[in-house]
Amino acid sequence: MAGRKTILRALAGETLDTPPIWMMRQAGRYLPEYKATRAEAGDFLSLCYNSDLATEVTLQPIRRYGFDGAILFADILLVPQALGADLWFVTGEGPRLSTITDRAGVDRLKPAAEIHETLNPVYQTVRNLSGALPADTTLIGFAGAPWTVATYMIAGRGTPDQGPAHALKAENKEVFDILMERLTEATIEYLSAQISAGAECVKLFDSWAGSLKGEDFDTYAIAPARRIIAALKARHPGIPVIAFPREAGDKYIGFHEKTGADCVALDDSVSPEWGAGNVQVAGCVQGNLASSHMVTGGQALVDETRRIVDAFSGGPHVFNLGHGITPDADPENVQRMIDTVRGG
């Protein structure tokens, strides 16, 4: 049965008449049913760690839209919390963490093998979903890539240019590299446990990869991804992996080969025609409709959706946004996008 799932077929390199579709952050604040469940949970982290409620919000967009894939509801910053960092969310502003800026801070982190006690509720959510999803829906696990997670741990929050992480990398490379090593090991452990619990493919989100330039991109985006993917495939032969080095630009070229990723997700800063000619030639691509279309809708949404489907029609493609859907999106625009992809 799993071999017939359209996302898994695309990830295996098959060109389909209609691309499978899912949407980053498809379970989220744009949906009224999510808002109700989030209120029931009390706060965001309680929702992430409540397996029953996290299962519910993961299923909500599947019930409403019939996406071909369901992505586990969790957060990339659960890994640093499991390693021992303090984590909390400020309403309207986002995550906050205790900062790591020196060797003592890194040394206080737990070994990667000890993250599972904290993260067991996430694995239970995966097990719940494995039994609850429709037979033709692919269950997608995920984690943040080490560089992206490190930027939050070093700054204690999201930053416009990832400046604190770049500064630590330049001023104390030893500490930075040790932190990256710990995060790489923890990411392997985390994703492996998700796969063991029932995830059928996993995605590695490197949301801030675009701020890495030159050799730093190779060292801190490509090399960790290659190591993580190789370890996962050694432990779980045949598991497909999607990699998303957002805003990588020309560095998207060759990312399949350099990392072993089965699929490379593209953001909307590159055109689908460029993506087809430069990235899809190496394997499956995912993307890349601008999330702003989910807010504005109209004929522009339809036209751009058709353009993307047409551009990638010559090879394996998973239709998605170029970044996550935003809270101000109109749920009706999501349906219109899906209908357009599927020929409506």
Q: Cite the beta strand spans of the chain per DSSP E.
A: 69-71, 87-90, 94-97, 138-144, 201-206, 241-245, 263-265, 284-289, 317-321
Decide: 231 and 193 in contact? Cβ < 8 Å. Answer: no
Q: Which of 9, 25, 227, 336 does the annotation list as catalytic?
A: 25
Task: Based on the residue annotation, tell me whether 227 is a catalytic residue of this protein.
Answer: no
Both tokens of residue 107?
């040394």
Task: Based on the residue annotation, tell me whether 136 is a catalytic residue of this protein.
Answer: no
Task: Based on the residue annotation, tell me whether 25 is a catalytic residue of this protein.
Answer: yes
Q: Cite the beta strand spans of 60-168 per DSSP E.
A: 69-71, 87-90, 94-97, 138-144
Alpha carbon dihedral 186, 162, 98, 153, in 10-degree steps, equals 10
Q: Which of 9, 30, 38, 336 does the annotation list as catalytic?
A: 38
Cβ-Cβ contacts under 8 Å for 114 (sequence gap 6 or more): none
Cβ-Cβ contacts under 8 Å for 140 (sequence gap 6 or more): 7, 22, 69, 70, 71, 72, 199, 200, 201, 202, 203, 242
Both tokens of residue 64?
């409403």
Both tokens of residue 267?
């953001």
Q: Which of 64, 75, 127, 330 does the annotation list as catalytic?
A: 75
Which amino acid is present at 118?
A: T
Question: HSE on the CB side for 238, CA within 13 Å?
Answer: 7
Q: Which of 30, 123, 152, 220 does the annotation list as catalytic?
A: 152
Q: Catalytic positions, please? A: 25, 29, 38, 75, 152
